Amino acid sequence: MARLTINQLSRRFGSFLAVDRFSLDVEPGEFVSLLGPSGCGKSTILRMIAGLLEPDSGSIAIGDKEVTWLPPEKRNIGLVFQSYALFPHMSVFENVAFGLRQRGVDEASLKTRVHEALDLVHLTGLDRRFPREMSGGQQQRVALARAVAPQPALLLLDEPLSNLDAKLRDSMRFELRRLQQTLSITTIFVTHDQEEALTMSDRICVLSGGQLHQVGRPREIYDMPATPFVAEFFGRSNGFDGKVAALGDKAAVSLSDDVRLVTSHLPDGAQIGDPVHVTIRQESVRILEAENEPARSSLPAVLDIVSFAGSTAQFLVRLSGGPQLNAEMNIERGGSLPEAGSHVRVMIDPGDVIVMAAR
């Protein structure tokens, strides 16, 4: 278990800046995800931490030791990739023993440690099989056992679950997290799957275009996104350009001349008229039948599209004199759905109107 300290790490490919001054401190035993869309630089960062790729500038330390220029085998890390990358001609036992042999562990303790690692990933007794005789999920567990058997200071995982089918992926999430906690091993986990990051991580780094947008606990990132990109990356969201319309207790933003939304939070130092970015998650939009008592702070609207999606319904709703919003609502079994074209009222809790300074 070691601390990982990354300071101002940058990397170009030709003139393209793939990673731009990335800094991060990871506590001993912490599980941190690097999350972002394809091409945002996640694997490039992980490869630099692993020593598979040299940075152009910046530094990396594992524990008290600077490792920026050390080869991978001198960094005391365990690596797992999406493709498992097992040695096909070696048995499961030999695959898991590989890193231990490299480190010169004697035969007697080697055997114990391979079996311990296989027990940890629930593959007890399968040590004589070959990779081709195992399912994808089992192969990925062998890869995990191989990575943790030498008791590395740092575990680096690049989309290790994305080759597995949906059901297996869900159960492996919990297994991987349990294993990480059992071993208290400092872990960096690369994923483009927000749910994976939210359910597994102590903290998440959200990246876009090689830049770190926010780092924080899953709940923090979800509830208090730091940038419009982060707000809209999570969940299904609506994003709008707006202006600050009122301050203080009655804080509000306007999306058009006719549409004003009360919000419980404005950016620090906001002034009337300031341009802002407004994010509203689809599940925050409540749609009320128009004949109901018009609730205070509800907005008149028309339903443009209504679609049934099992336990939920999706709506595209046009605010009178304003923009369209996507909304998602749970529907009760057998409950009725309003029809497209009907007049409704839209309500959004002030706490769900996420406002950020426009960039």
Ligand X SMILES: Nc1ncnc2c1ncn2[C@@H]1O[C@H](COP(=O)(O)OP(=O)(O)OP(=O)(O)O)[C@@H](O)[C@H]1O
Residues that bind ligand X (CB under 6 A): 13, 18, 36, 38-44, 192
For 199, phi then psi, to 5°, come to -80, -25
Which residues 130-189 are close enough to bind Mg ion by CB under 5 A? none
Torsion angle defined by CA atoms of residues 190, 103, 59 and 28, in that order, rounded to the nearest 10 degrees: 60
- Contact between 201 and Mg ion by CB under 5 A: the answer reads no
Shortest Cβ distance from residue 191 to ligand X (Å)? Answer: 8
d(CA 169, CA 326): 29
Binder of residue 18, out of Mg ion, ligand X, none (CB less than 5 to 8 A by kind):
ligand X
Residue closer to ligand X by CB (options 192, 213) is 192
d(CA 226, CA 356): 8
DSSP letters spanning 72-128: GGGS-EEEEETT----TTS-HHHHHHHHHHHTT--HHHHHHHHHHHHHHTT-TT-TT
Measured from each CB, the residue nearest to Mg ion is 43
Q: Are 1 and 153 in contact (CB under 8 A)?
A: yes
Binder of residue 160, out of ligand X, Mg ion, none (CB less than 5 to 8 A by kind):
none
Binder of residue 13, out of Mg ion, ligand X, none (CB less than 5 to 8 A by kind):
ligand X
Number of residues that bind Mg ion (CB under 5 A): 1
Q: Are 38 and 193 in contact (CB under 8 A)?
A: no
Residue closer to ligand X by CB (options 43, 138) is 43
Residue closer to ligand X by CB (options 18, 154) is 18
Binder of residue 11, out of Mg ion, ligand X, none (CB less than 5 to 8 A by kind):
none
Shortest Cβ distance from residue 307 to ligand X (Å)? Answer: 30
One residue of 43, 186, 214, 284 binding Mg ion per CB under 5 A: 43
Binder of residue 15, out of ligand X, Mg ion, none (CB less than 5 to 8 A by kind):
none
Residue with tokens 């030709």: 14
Task: Write the CB contacts of 194 (distance below 8 Å, at least 6 apart in sequence).
Answer: 35, 233, 234, 235
Residue closer to ligand X by CB (options 41, 225) is 41
Which residues are at the interface with Mg ion (CB under 5 A)? 43
